Amino acid sequence: MTETQIFWLSAFADELAKLSKNFKDGDDICSKQVLNVLRQIEKYIKRYPNPQHAAKAMSYTGRINHGRDEAIQRGEGVRRTRIVGHFPIHNTNDGESIAVDLVDLNAVDPAMQAADRDECRRAVDQIPKVVATGIALTAVFGFDQGKASTQMGISRPYLSRTMKKSEREMRNSQRDAA
């Protein structure tokens, strides 16, 4: 490391320590972020010539990432949706007792999943095919409207207008039903 990089990193670490001192695990947050910056120091120096600005920008994400890491270590998952208990006992259909070490609260009943799928198909059948394809490409596959319209062979303004028109119609029909 050059002297400039060493100076920048020490100023970053000092500023981040000041910003993190009021938090429960501030030292852990600070050390993880300093190691992260140390791995890619040239990138961070180029992006943030002022180390104080880098510390301010990274303090929030450092706290979020630390919370996620802690939840993963506790077995809750990144989004804290899993519950790990003291091996609860469940009975099978045969009457046999088994210990389950992980309970998934987001598990879906196949009958409910089929009903939701059928309801979605009914809703999609009510909107124009252009809009349904546009929604699938943008919401499901992650394309923006420009790329989706190119893939569909239509113009972006046309796709945007038709999707907006269908959205207004759905919103108005919901008001009428209420």
Residue 42: which domain range?
3-74
Q: How far apart are CA 84 and CA 166, in angstroms?
A: 44
Same-domain check for residues 49 and 87: no
Query: What is the amino acid identity at position 24?
Result: K
CATH code at position 116:
1.10.10.10
Q: Is the pTM of this model over 0.85?
A: no
Residue 101, pLDDT above cutoff 70: no
Same-domain check for residues 96 and 57: no
Helix (H) or strand (E) run with residue 164 in it: helix 156-177
Residues 69 and 36 sit within 8 Å (Cβ to Cβ): no
Same-domain check for residues 97 and 131: no
Q: What is the pLDDT of residues 134-159, one digit of tens each?
A: 999 998 888 999 999 999 999 999 99
Alpha carbon separation from 44 to 49, 111, 161 (Å, rounded): 8, 51, 41
Same-domain check for residues 94 and 141: no
Same-domain check for residues 102 and 120: no
